[in-house]
Structure 1
């Protein structure tokens, strides 16, 4: 009977990403980024605050990345242009 392999472990990939981020400086970007880690409702409120203060149409504001953590916490990165033209 053939054994069906499960998904590969992600620990090695996580370590590789962390090492890459430590060793290689972030590339120059025209965007302003800020990362937050907070409870789900507070995260929604913070994202709404960004969209209200820096409208998407003018600043290209977006939630660049997010992930769920234990305890109903969300870690997310907001991104926007520094100024609107």
Structure 2
């Protein structure tokens, strides 16, 4: 029986990144910033965002995240531009 080999996902990842960049160029009501940090630094950065931009006022959230090799985390923080 042949062993299943998953297809390479590089093309899909590039398409998703391109789509996100194009989407980011459009007018959006949210401010987004993407980080790639070690696990501990990622936690610290997320806490900084929640401290500086409280969820109740800015709708702050971790929009997406994924674990990379070497225990690094790539994540996108999202918030409203102002608390008004």
CA–CA distance in 1 between the matches of 2:68 and 2:56? Answer: 30
Aligned residue runs from structure 1 range 1-85, under 5 A: 9-20=8-19, 24=22, 26-85=25-84
Q: Which has the larger radius of gyration?
A: 1
CA–CA distance in 2 between the matches of 1:81 and 1:43? Answer: 20
Look up the SS of the partner of 1:82 in the other structure.
coil
Unaligned runs of 5+ in 1: none
From the superposition, tell whether residues 57 and 41 of structure 1 become closer, same or farther in structure 2 (CA, over 3 Å).
Answer: same
RMSD: 2.3
TM-score (normalizing by structure 2): 0.79
TM-score (normalizing by structure 1): 0.78
Give the number of equivalent residue pairs. Answer: 83
